[in-house]
């Protein structure tokens, strides 16, 4: 069957990103580059491949992944950079079919430090479901994150916390969430519908040696409000203090 695609009325011939554009079939990773690849680049590659496997996108080798990143960052005049890698799919535009090829897009720009020392969070205006498979990978299906982030900003907050179908805390639109009470470090379990964040993994690996008892579980806003200290984490900004969740100040 002949398929005609136009862009602004002109024949659209470059179909390398078409499936990703039409269906959000793609996965990404973001991190900070400071003159060299981050220490945990292997974790980023492994998570990218996990996402590719979910969508059945042909895998990229680790060697190519690193090569394309290094080849792109050397073109930028700055040393401290924001890096985003996106593995997109190519193939037949009929959505159930398995993609035939993959391509890696690398976006590099100067890294801009977070202006605030602490952030304020609200609650997303809708819930997610803990069984959603896309919550386990960094998919370019980012619509609900966009809606929730805009909702937060429009209401005077920096980000929004997602609750799942059981009203359990999961994560924010861009970060994992933690809180401290005494000598205990709490964070939602991955089973709640949480991305296995790279910085989350590192924090949990190191917290015990810092004297904390780690509790991963199912928690509610009432648990969060009892905290002595709350923070979020991601690979770009590391750990960021939370000053307020809605009307509750820590």
* pTM of the entire predicted model: 0.94
**What CA–CA distance (Å, rounded) separates 115 from 112?**
8
CA distance 102 to 59: 7
Question: Which pLDDT score, from 0 to 100, does residue 228 have?
Answer: 96
Whether 1 has a pLDDT exceeding 80, the answer reads: no
Over residues 148-176, the mean pLDDT reads: 98
Mean pLDDT (whole number) for 178-184: 97
Q: Is the pLDDT of residue 179 over 70?
A: yes
């Amino acid at each position: 069957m002949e398929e005609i695609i136009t862009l602004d009325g002109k024949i659209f011939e470059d179909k390398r990103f078409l499936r990703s554009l039409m269906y959000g079939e793609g996965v990404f990773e973001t991190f900070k580059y400071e003159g060299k690849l981050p220490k945990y680049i292997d974790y980023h590659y492994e998570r990218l491949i996990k996402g590719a496997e979910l969508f059945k996108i042909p895998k990229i080798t680790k060697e190519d992944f690193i090569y394309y990143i290094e080849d792109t960052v050397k073109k930028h005049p700055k040393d401290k950079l924001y890096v985003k890698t996106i593995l997109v799919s190519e193939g037949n535009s009929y959505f159930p079919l398995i993609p035939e090829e993959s391509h890696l897009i690398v976006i590099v720009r100067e890294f801009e430090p977070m202006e605030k020392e602490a952030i304020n969070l609200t609650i997303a205006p809708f819930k997610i479901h803990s069984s959603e498979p896309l919550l386990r990978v960094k998919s370019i299906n980012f619509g609900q994150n966009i809606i929730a982030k805009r909702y937060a900003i429009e209401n005077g907050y920096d980000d929004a916390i997602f609750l799942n179908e059981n009203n359990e805390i999961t994560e924010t639109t861009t970060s994992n969430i933690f809180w401290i009470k005494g000598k205990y470090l709490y964070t939602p379990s991955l089973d709640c519908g949480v991305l296995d964040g790279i910085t989350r993994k590192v924090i949990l690996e190191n917290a015990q040696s810092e004297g904390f008892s780690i509790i991963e579980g199912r928690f509610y806003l009432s648990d969060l409000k009892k905290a002595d200290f709350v923070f979020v984490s991601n690979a770009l900004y590391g750990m960021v203090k939370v000053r307020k969740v809605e009307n509750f100040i820590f």
